[in-house]
């Protein structure tokens, strides 16, 4: 499962929890009366599933609303998504160089897989930003530039993001051919992925949104596997 699918599942995560707490009605007797723990005003009680080994609880609609998890995005979530869009864009730029410059088919295949995965992931993250715009409209994806050029390097803060290649490194990669390109591509992309893991770890530690947690978890899984693959190729 790619991260775009993980994001869609994550965006639905809060809704699933809400549906569990707010939409699942408890059983009623034929005469419309509720059970001992149900609502006494004729409204259906809400069944809240318990943790493994615990019994479900019966809540009033008001109690269910109060206990619904709040996954409102915080600053860590916003920083992660905005930064990872820019991070992915540079990976697309680096990968786009491989077909005409790499000598090893394995390197070409790796670059193709990275591009095929990360392009839709960018779209998914941009949809997340549209749903959860930053307070005051700051930091939207429109300020990060497109995926062309030298990796969307027009922003002012991506230098602080771990793993990002410098302008000079990107130029060296674009000028390289054959085995020199293969070696430099694997070096830069491995560092790039390692930086993404750091960013994901920060989001998992400080974020609050279910969808962002899904995205970060997917990055950890997929890019860790790709790091192992690149080290084996190198």
Over residues 15-35, the pLDDT tens digits come to 444 444 444 444 444 444 444
Q: Strands 46-48 and 57-59: what pairing?
A: antiparallel
Q: Is 112 exposed, middle or buried (0-12, 13-18, 19+ CB in 10 A)?
A: middle
Kind and range of the H or E run holding 80: helix 75-96
Confidence of residue 220 (pLDDT cuts 50, 70, 90): very high
User: Which one has a higher pLDDT value, 177 or 11?
Assistant: 177
Strand, coil or helix: 166: coil
Decide which of 99 and 55 is more confident: 99
Q: What is the pTM of this model?
A: 0.68
User: What region, left, alpha or beta, does residue 145 occupy, with left being phi > 0 and alpha being psi -120 to 50 degrees?
Assistant: left
- What pLDDT is recorded for position 17? 42
Provide the pLDDT for residue 194: 98
pLDDT averaged over every residue in the chain? 79
pLDDT at 207 over 80: yes
**Sign of the CA dihedral running 47, 50, 56, 59:** negative
The string of pLDDT tens digits covering residues 114-153 is 999 999 999 999 999 999 998 765 544 443 333 333 333 3
pLDDT at site 81:
98
Give the pLDDT confidence of 143-160 residue by residue, as tens digits.
Answer: 333 333 333 333 444 557
């Amino acid at each position: 499962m790619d991260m775009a699918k993980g994001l869609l599942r994550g965006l639905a995560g809060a809704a699933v929890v809400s549906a569990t707490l707010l939409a699942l009605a408890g059983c009623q007797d034929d005469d419309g009366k509720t059970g001992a723990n149900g609502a006494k005003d004729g409204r259906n009680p809400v069944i809240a599933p318990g943790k493994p080994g615990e019994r479900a609880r019966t809540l009033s609609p008001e109690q269910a609303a109060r206990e619904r998890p709040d996954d409102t995005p915080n600053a860590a979530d916003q920083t992660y998504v905005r930064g990872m869009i820019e991070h992915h864009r540079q990976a697309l730029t680096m990968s786009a160089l491989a077909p005409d410059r790499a000598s090893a088919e394995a390197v070409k295949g790796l670059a193709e897989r990275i591009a095929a995965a990360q392009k839709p992931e960018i779209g998914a993250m941009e949809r997340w930003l549209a749903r959860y715009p930053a307070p005051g409209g700051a930091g939207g994806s429109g300020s990060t530039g497109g995926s062309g050029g030298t990796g969307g390097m027009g922003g002012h803060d991506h230098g602080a993001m771990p793993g990002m290649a410098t302008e000079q490194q990107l130029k060296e990669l674009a000028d390289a051919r054959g085995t020199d390109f293969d070696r430099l591509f694997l070096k830069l992309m491995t560092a790039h992925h390692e930086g993404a893991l750091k960013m994901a770890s920060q989001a998992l530690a400080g974020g609050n949104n279910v969808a962002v947690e899904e995205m970060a978890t997917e990055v950890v899984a997929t890019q860790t596997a790709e790091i192992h693959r690149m080290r084996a190729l190198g």
